[in-house]
Structure 1
């Protein structure tokens, strides 16, 4: 078969050029996505200008070195954004501890020692890859962008560390959802020099204008807009190759011919997970903390400006003076101005401004912005991660806030973290990084999906609600047991221990299975029974000499003619 294929290929003309594909529809879809995104641009820029001046890259702003702080008079929103990002980082993906584990839906099979060992080994490899790669740096930057409503991050294979992660700033991308509400289309615009294009995609793949700039030695000075679109591949024909994967990945230079692309490849999994805060429609875009805090942020900047103006008026009030001394008034500290008796230099009006009310309002609005970013909650979660507070204490103090944040956490886990782990797992699996498993375990795992279970501090704090209920019910049963000891039998200790351990993220190897526990109880009961039998035998052995002595005394008494003993022992007539 192989020889037939090789001979067939050898007979094909070597100068035959491959048929070019028309990408008109692909490029039209890309343009439509960015046109649809336009209605969000003004809102994102307002958020950038009033709250987050160091984030965002927009098409009409060529000078990326400019800092947009002209409208910022109070930086509490930027500080809250940093707390939010650090809080989500330490609460959901902390670098210093485990935040997920691999298991199976079948708890009994997951408890199997061989299966658990395979899952633990692969879990450790995933953690090692995340730690060695740029994952934690990149995901923190992604969390910084999340207050805009959404933040994408790509996962690509890397020859050195296995995978490489990239975060994309607001203003550089466009999104589109499928009918199920999940983002399945991603478009991005960015600039590259001619030298970079040739290095990344190869000289032959570049369009003529890029080649000319490169050939003329101006490759480092000439920049071009690169368009990148990732879209579900509806043209799959069942053949092998990167063009027949579930998702298509297409690069081209903006303005190039409809049949010219830099690269057309694909992905086996969705490669650009999108972290979204809150969504209300199928547009793909979300709304985040910065949306909720925008009106307060604009008010805060105005209040801060008014406060500074009021303080400045109090320190440097407008002055009035007679025409004879105008120009000669010395306003420096300790300065002397010579005036006649009837001439005065004084403030035009009494600037007795009480700034306390303004300061109180500023404090109130600042706290409102912090609450919009959940800064108060995440500061508590930092204490939890540092061991200064238990998960139960956090739950008791912030139960209402946790309920509000719960949907956001669930969305981040299902739409963002799940695809990250699945994509990374797929890349490592195809690269042969995972150690092989024996046939017995492979047979047990055949057809089963690996389940991702989150054990991060934030997940544990949310699960504490069910654990608190168990503790309260146990305390209630114990109080009733003081009047009726039998009521303790209503409490299922074994099931409570399993639920508590799972919700706390205890490793599966630490928790005994029901079969192991039952076998241990039977062994313990048997050991207790044997111990009792041995104690009884020992007691009988200790009593035997005494019983023998008593029998001898009774016999001697009967032999001595004691009629009562003779009758008892059957020796009398």
Structure 2
């Protein structure tokens, strides 16, 4: 693609995104105004964000969105426990050991980077607007990974396959003329940018970064221009291609919450809570106005020739001169604070329910029993299960594939067994939310085995229906038991074989002792008969 084609494609993508922008702006304005930078103004300042925040009379939507984002974050990618593994299917012990070690190295490097901060802000964007764009690359200075959360106002997306994942991303951004020269080289930028770098080095220049799949590429390419994912940077005003490169994997993950029909974009749960959030904000504004009347009071005054209602001021230690005490009287405001409080509480509860904050937040009261904990975890699983499925496909899977590719090419995963060459791995999720989805299966296994044991008292052959080894291994994996605790199938079989051999040796030794004892007794009988 040349610079003109990229510029035309950018214009098309802008027109396709434009109808949805006002909805995202409203969602951000009622939850996290500062995250909507670019939708309301070109770049929102802290003062502008503060003014927009001040227009939010009630903060329930913000608090509920934060709780939901935190719940998804802790359920998907907890920083304190390994939340994924890798499988290739029918792997040997050496292959399993290398895959487990690689998963642990990746997990450590992911959380040693800025991932936790970037991912949390990304999930806030997902809850508010329904999508986010996270750029993943190698940290060239310190090593490891770097995660750059792009403001979604500057990102335009598309999918090369109908109904498929987003694989085309255009991002608009600005650099100073000096930064542009340092990044792309003086010979690659336009004449105008070279002139600005000398005269006005801090003048901003607009660029677009286009990332899209190449129609033709080389397998295992070493040159960036031959890699499967193209990366082109264009100086917008001059329509000049300043950089062309590529990636082995898609470097940008764009997960979505709930798809907008006939579009690659999405909306988040704040969209569902938006009518209640608007009503709540307006009701709280009226409640404040009524409160001002209730505190300051409302008066009626008569212009009786002595009292001038247009200039009179009511306040402490003031004497109001009037012709009669009836010339000025307080009025009842007519405000119904009880109704306002009930309606506000109902709207707040509705918003928290839509954003699942009423279930995700720790409940007040005495400590829950094990049964209550299980029921609540099951409820959260049902609430977040569908969301988790989409995030797993569009967020975690491509992110781990990208991180694995970077780490493997850097050599930090060591040499893989030759038997893994050409075999694709699948991600095995071990996060709390993934494990909670298997709790019902664990409970079903326990119930099934207990029922079989009862029947086995009458008919022992019923236990032949249960593979106890496989049941225990499945339960261990579902409950998140570390792999180092569970013996491999080969080690288990060896222990059983050694135990069986030891028992056989003991039996043979016992038989030999009995035979020797019998032979000795027979010899003693013969000696007694001869005597």
Normalising by the smaller structure, the TM-score range is 0.7 to 0.9
- The 2-side partners of 1:376 and 1:540 are apart by 77
Tell whether the 8 Å contact from 1:157 to 1:164 is kept in structure 2 after alignment. Answer: yes
- The 1-side partners of 2:324 and 2:39 are apart by 66
Alignment-derived partner of residue 339 in structure 2: 357
Q: Considering only aligned residues, what root-mean-square deviation do their CA atoms show, in Å?
A: 3.4
Alignment-derived partner of residue 90 in structure 1: 74
Tell whether the 8 Å contact from 2:28 to 2:35 is kept in structure 1 after alignment. Answer: yes
- The 1-side partners of 2:335 and 2:31 are apart by 28
The aligned runs of 1:363-378 (5 Å cut-off) are 363-378=345-360
Alignment-derived partner of residue 211 in structure 1: 194
Alignment-derived partner of residue 13 in structure 1: none
Alignment-derived partner of residue 233 in structure 1: 214
Alignment-derived partner of residue 138 in structure 1: 118
- The 2-side partners of 1:389 and 1:254 are apart by 59
Tell whether the 8 Å contact from 2:82 to 2:104 is kept in structure 1 after alignment. Answer: no
3-state SS of the aligned residue for 1:87? helix
Alignment-derived partner of residue 565 in structure 1: none
Asked if 1:104 is matched to 2:88, the reply is yes
Tell whether the 8 Å contact from 2:259 to 2:265 is kept in structure 1 after alignment. Answer: yes
The alpha carbon displacement at 1:240 in A equals 5.5
- The 1-side partners of 2:31 and 2:100 are apart by 43
Query: Larger Rg: 1 or 2?
Result: 1
Tell whether the 8 Å contact from 2:64 to 2:355 is kept in structure 1 after alignment. Answer: yes
Tell whether the 8 Å contact from 1:49 to 1:70 is kept in structure 2 after alignment. Answer: no
- The 1-side partners of 2:218 and 2:493 are apart by 54
Tell whether the 8 Å contact from 1:392 to 1:461 is kept in structure 2 after alignment. Answer: no
Instruction: State the Cα deviation string for residues 259-279 of structure 1 (Å, max 9, x = none).
Output: x21211111111101121122
Farther-moved stretch of structure 1 (193-202 vs 531-540): 531-540
The aligned runs of 1:392-541 (5 Å cut-off) are 394-437=373-416, 441-442=417-418, 444-481=419-456, 487-528=462-503, 530-531=505-506
Asked if 1:158 is matched to 2:133, the reply is no
Alignment-derived partner of residue 63 in structure 2: 79
The alpha carbon displacement at 1:402 in A equals 2.1
Farther-moved stretch of structure 1 (231-240 vs 536-545): 536-545
Tell whether the 8 Å contact from 2:218 to 2:228 is kept in structure 1 after alignment. Answer: no
Tell whether the 8 Å contact from 2:360 to 2:380 is kept in structure 1 after alignment. Answer: no
- The 1-side partners of 2:83 and 2:410 are apart by 24
3-state SS of the aligned residue for 1:261? strand
Alignment-derived partner of residue 24 in structure 2: 44
The alpha carbon displacement at 1:380 in A equals 5.4
Instruction: State the Cα deviation string for residues 309-350 of structure 1 (Å, max 9, x = none).
Output: 2222222232112324345866335655465665253223x2
Alignment-derived partner of residue 267 in structure 2: 287
- The 2-side partners of 1:514 and 1:427 are apart by 32
- The 2-side partners of 1:277 and 1:270 are apart by 20
Alignment-derived partner of residue 55 in structure 1: 35
Tell whether the 8 Å contact from 2:218 to 2:227 is kept in structure 1 after alignment. Answer: no
Normalised by the length of structure 1, the TM-score is: 0.81
Instruction: State the Cα deviation string for residues 530-551 of structure 1 (Å, max 9, x = none).
Output: 5567678889999999x89x98
- The 2-side partners of 1:135 and 1:166 are apart by 9
Tell whether the 8 Å contact from 2:37 to 2:43 is kept in structure 1 after alignment. Answer: no
Tell whether the 8 Å contact from 1:177 to 1:185 is kept in structure 2 after alignment. Answer: yes
The alpha carbon displacement at 1:392 in A equals 8.0
The alpha carbon displacement at 1:522 in A equals 4.0
Instruction: State the Cα deviation string for residues 406-454 of structure 1 (Å, max 9, x = none).
Output: 12111111111111111111112222333224xxx31x22332222111
Structure 1 residues 535, 329: closer, same or farther in 2, change over 3 A?
farther
Tell whether the 8 Å contact from 1:145 to 1:151 is kept in structure 2 after alignment. Answer: yes
Tell whether the 8 Å contact from 2:67 to 2:357 is kept in structure 1 after alignment. Answer: yes
The structure 2 residue matched to 1:223, chosen from 183, 200, 204, is 204
Normalised by the length of structure 2, the TM-score is: 0.87
